[in-house]
Amino acid sequence: MARPNPDLINALRRTAKKLKEGAPYQWGHMGGCNCGNLAQELTKLSKDQIHTYAMQRYGDWNEQVDDYCQTSSLPIDIIINEMLNAGLMLEDLKHLEKLSDKQVLARFPVEKRLALKHNVRDDVVAYMYEWANLLEERLLEKIQLPVLEELSFA
């Protein structure tokens, strides 16, 4: 699971909001799919740039992740590297593309969980918001506030 951090949480929420408000979405397009839309937010590249870079190697996001090389100079590997630097793990990208992370899915009511479709905009939006909420909760669990000693008013 991704490393919870404010920038990643906000990127997920911004991506979900943009999709909800009508940003281009096309599941079969490497720059306009689930991962592609998040990649746009994290890298500031356009959907067409991401798609063009991804097409320099074969496959969908799952295959691109399987073939990812940290030291490669292929643009898609540079994009994936930026996403990893934002706190994501390789498995997160696979799960996002298929809306399949069990920890995120467990937060939905069973009937919604079973009905989620990986290539339906509204389902992607719901998944991203719920994932952001999960990461935020995990981040807040790590925050320790100092205990203040009881003040005396003598």
2-41 tens-digit pLDDT: 999 999 999 999 999 999 999 999 998 999 999 999 999 9
CB 99 within 8 A of CB 118: yes
pLDDT at residue 151 is higher than 60: no
Q: Please give the pLDDT value at position 142.
A: 87
Q: Please give the pLDDT value at position 150.
A: 59
Rounded to two decimals, what is the model's pTM? Answer: 0.89
94-122 tens-digit pLDDT: 999 999 999 999 999 999 988 999 999 99
